[in-house]
């Protein structure tokens, strides 16, 4: 069984949710919440998830302080060794702030925090986190963020649009005014992926409101599938 680290900073608050949901997807999973002070590249982690929350209170800017932390330097090192990394919500913001993914974040266009379910569509699924999905698949899951307006400059967008995995809100569902309706984006090989919506809140149909299906399950299944020896 692969070993997954769930990296926790002061203010991270979705760590236990990710753990619970991973176990719901596969009860045998080996996953562990790792306090940022204890996180090491050499910890033998097969994948790392940076969960949501408000690291360091999100003071200054969402994810900005955590992005400069020692743990994130270790994580950056891990990505060069091909360890898959998933950033969810604040985790995505941290990865972007740390320069592991392109773009930047701005406050929601409404000026308010927003918590609601949205529909996403996948472009260029690639890499371990999306291995069981196909281009054009629709996934449903909730967002909950105040600074979730993903922004990417046009030339950067041009350079990733046809090569990198991108998750987009259906245009009618964009909750924050992000560029090109982007909800999530990955590196070209898809090993590092970040997304604003919360897949861990969408692994069980019990938690999906009427009209929505739990679309987070496939992301966790994908990584567990991809990490199986021989993949």
Partner 1 sequence: MGLYRVVAVVSLKKGLKDPEAETIQKDLVLRHGYSAVKEVRVGKQLTFLVEAESPEEAISYVKEMCDKLMIYNPVIHELYVTLHA
Partner 2 sequence: MPLNREEVEEIRSILGREPTIEELAMFEAQWSEHCSYKSSRRLLKLLPTTGRSVLIGPGRDAPAVEVFPGIAVVFKIESHNHPSAVDPYNGAATGIGGIVRDILTLGAKPIALLDMLYLGDPRDGRARWLVKGIVRGISDYGNRIGVPTVAGDAWFDSSFNTQPLVNVACVGIARTEELVRCRPASGDLILVIGNPTGRDGLLGSSFASKPLSDNPSEDIGAVQVADPLMEKMLIDSIAELVQRKLVKFIKDLGGGGLTTAVAEVAADFELGAELRLDELHLRTELTPLEILVSESQERMMIVISREKLEDVAAVLKKYDVPGSVVGFFDRSGRIRAYYKNGLVADVPARELAKPRDIKRSSKPPVELVKLLNPVGDLPEVPVSEALDSLLSSPNVASKRWIYEQYDHEVGVRTVLKPGFGDAAVLRLDDSRGIAVKGDANPRYTAIDPFNGAANSVAECYRNLVAVGSTPVAFVDEPNAGNPEKPEHFWYFEMIVKGIAWMASELGVPVVGGKVSFYNEDYRGRQVKPTATIVGVGAVEDVSKVKTMDLKYEGSAILVVGHTYPELGGSEYLARVHGIEAGGVPAPRPSSELRNASYVAKLIDRGVALSVHDVGLGGLAVAIAEMAILGGVGVELYLERVPCRGCSRLDEVLFSETQGRYVVEVRLEEVGGALEVASASGVTAAVIARTTGSKFFTARWGSTTVFEKGLDYLRELYEDGLRKYMV
Strand pairing category for 30-35 and 3-8:
parallel
Q: How far apart, in Å, are the Cα atoms of 197 and each of 52, 77, 174? A: 9, 26, 11
Among 56, 105, 157, 169, binds partner 2 (CB under 8 A): 56
Tokens of 53: 């929350």
Among 12, 79, 108, 164, binds partner 1 (CB under 8 A): 108
In the complex, the smallest distance separating the C-beta of residue 173 from partner 1, rounded to whole angstroms, is 19
CA distance 199 to 49: 12
Q: Does 115 bind partner 2 (CB under 8 A)?
A: yes
Among 3, 10, 40, 76, binds partner 2 (CB under 8 A): 10
| Total residue count of the chain as it appears in this document | 231
Q: Closer to partner 2 by CB, 11 or 43: give it.
A: 11
Stretch that binds partner 1, among 25-33, 40-48, 58-66, 212-220 (CB under 8 A): 58-66
Report the partner that residue 170 touches, choosing among partner 2, partner 1, none (CB closer than 5 to 8 A by kind): none
CA distance 214 to 129: 16
Q: Does 109 bind partner 1 (CB under 8 A)?
A: yes
Q: Closer to partner 2 by CB, 86 or 166: give it.
A: 86
CA distance 86 to 73: 16
Stretch that binds partner 2, among 67-75, 94-102, 114-122, 179-187 (CB under 8 A): 114-122
Q: Closer to partner 2 by CB, 77 or 116: give it.
A: 116
Other Cβ atoms within 10 Å of 170 Cβ, number = 14
Sorted by sequence, the CB contacts under 8 Å of residue 158 that are 6+ apart come out as none
Active site residues: 89, 198, 200
CA distance 69 to 50: 13
Contact 32, 3 (CB under 8 A): yes
Burial group, residue 59, by CB count within 10 angstroms (0-12, 13-18, 19+)? exposed
Q: Does 177 bind partner 1 (CB under 8 A)?
A: yes
Report the partner that residue 217 touches, choosing among partner 2, partner 1, none (CB closer than 5 to 8 A by kind): none
- Residues at the interface with partner 1 (CB under 8 A): 10, 56-57, 59-61, 64-65, 67-69, 97, 103-104, 106-111, 151, 153, 177
Residues forming contacts to partner 2 in the complex (CB under 8 A) are 10-11, 13-14, 16-17, 20-21, 35, 37, 52-54, 56-59, 112-116, 142, 144, 146, 198, 200-201, 204, 206-207, 209-210
């Amino acid at each position: 069984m692969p070993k997954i680290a769930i990296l926790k900073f002061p203010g991270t608050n979705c760590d236990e949710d990710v753990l619970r949901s991973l176990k719901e997807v596969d009860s045998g999973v080996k996953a562990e919440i790792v306090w940022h002070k204890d996180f090491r590249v050499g910890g033998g982690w097969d994948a790392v998830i940076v969960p949501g929350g408000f690291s360091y209170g999100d003071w200054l800017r969402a994810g900005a302080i955590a992005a400069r932390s020692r743990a994130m330097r270790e994580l950056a090192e891990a990505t060069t060794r091909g360890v898959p990394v998933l950033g969810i919500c604040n985790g995505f913001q941290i990865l972007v702030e740390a320069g592991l993914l392109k773009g930047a974040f701005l406050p929601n266009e409404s000026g308010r925090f927003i918590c609601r379910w949205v529909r996403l569509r996948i472009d260029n699924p690639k890499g371990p986190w999306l291995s069981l999905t196909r281009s054009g698949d629709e996934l449903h899951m909730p967002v909950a963020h105040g600074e979730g307006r993903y922004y990417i400059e046009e030339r950067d967008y041009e350079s990733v649009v046809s090569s990198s995995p991108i998750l987009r809100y259906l245009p009618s569902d964009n909750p924050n005014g992000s560029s090109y309706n982007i909800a999530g984006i990955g590196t070209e090989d898809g090993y590092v992926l970040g997304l604003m919506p919360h897949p861990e809140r969408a692994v069980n149909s019990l938690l999906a409101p009427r009209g929505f299906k739990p679309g987070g399950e496939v992301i966790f299944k994908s990584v567990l599938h991809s990490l199986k020896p021989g993949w």
